[in-house]
Amino acid sequence: MRWIEQTLDVDDGALPGLGRAGLVRTVATPEFEGVTFHEVLCKSALTQVPEGARLPFRWTVNPMRGCLHQCRYCFARPTHEYLDLDAGKDFDTQIVVKMNVAAVLRRELARRSWHGEPVALGTNTDPYQRAEGRYRLMPGIIRALAGSGTPFSILTKGTLLRRDLPLLAAASERVDVSVAVSLAMLDPSVQKAIEPGTPSPAARLELIRAACQAGFTPHVMVAPVIPYITDGQRELDVLFAAVAAAGARSVTVMPMHLRGSTRGWFMEWLAREHPKLVGRYRRLYGHGAYVPVEYKIWLRERVTPLLDKHGLVSGGSGAPERGAGPDGGTARSAERSRADREPEPMLF
Ligand code: SF4
């Protein structure tokens, strides 16, 4: 999952535009029909979250830009515009891969100035999107973080995470490792329409089970809740029941935000698929990116008794506590130069 939008007007060495330093090659492969990979050498791996973002972590790593999960509501979409790509189709199909991210991360974590603060993965684009199967960047990242005594959290919709569960379990012997799975709807036809590139809800429930079997207690991000589409009493009831049965103990429920170019991309889809909802959405999001407080209260009142019913705890991020260090238990559960930073809108 995921968080709230931050705004940075910066880049990570592959930006703006792909023609600048860092681009190694552009690849298309039959395994990923319609997808173009832009393989780059990044200058930095760690990204600092701005002060005031009110997030439970200050550092993130994002091995890729763009996401094959293709969620219509994705808040990371506008970051593609820093690459001179568009936030719609290009975000879904033009994937920037930081080929050297693990090596750069190791170097950054070895600096004397690094104090082992928690690092979050999955805050911008999904680290276990399908492309990770081709590039295998995460094992090196996990080893670098664990080896340096850095606690970390992973948020994903990607069932490819299962591949790395043994490695994550080993890492959790050294540092706090938290795993969170994003699952906001159970109906596969709704999921296919809104998140067409994601693994099915059933596969994500299996992922939660597998994470439990590996010794983790995965947090679940029921986010974003899509107003009038996935916020029904029955839909939420069966979702929480399934999540609890899979082994999750805590969830975060957040309504959808619609900001920047994401808004147009989502509304175009809504007009095509749910034309009768367009007027209601205009009213709901008429004053900005966020739903009005009345909707938030309504959703909370709907959700709270359902969470109680299914024995789920609300809140928590799945991220290690800020300041938790290598000795902080095994929960399993700088301003830099302009060229070294990257735009970092959090997803939900
Ligand atoms: S919301 Fe997450 S999984 Fe979906 S496209 Fe964005 S980064 Fe990928």
List the chain domain ranges: 23-333
Does pLDDT of 115 surpass 60? yes
Cα(133) to ligand 1 centroid in Å equals 16
What is the CB < 6 Å shell around ligand 1?
Answer: 67, 69-71, 74, 76, 125-126, 157, 347
CB neighbour list of residue 7: distance below 8 Å, 6 or more residues apart:
343, 345
pLDDT at 12: 47
148/180 Cα distance (integer angstroms): 22
Contact 10, 43 (CB under 8 A): no
pLDDT at 223: 96
159/182 Cα distance (integer angstroms): 11
pLDDT in tens, 56-108: 789 999 999 999 999 999 999 999 998 889 999 999 999 999 999 999 999 99
Does pLDDT of 239 surpass 80? yes
The percent of residues in the chain predicted with pLDDT above 90, rounded, is 79
Place of tokens 């799945």: 318
pTM score, whole prediction? 0.87
Tokens of 227: 């107003």
Nearest CA to ligand 1 atom 6: 74
Q: Report residue 335's pLDDT band, with 50, 70 and 90 as the boundaries.
A: very low
Which CATH class for the 23-333 domain?
alpha beta
pLDDT in tens, 308-329: 999 999 985 445 433 333 232 3
Amino acid 28 reads: A
Nearest CA to ligand 1 atom 1: 74
SS3 310: coil
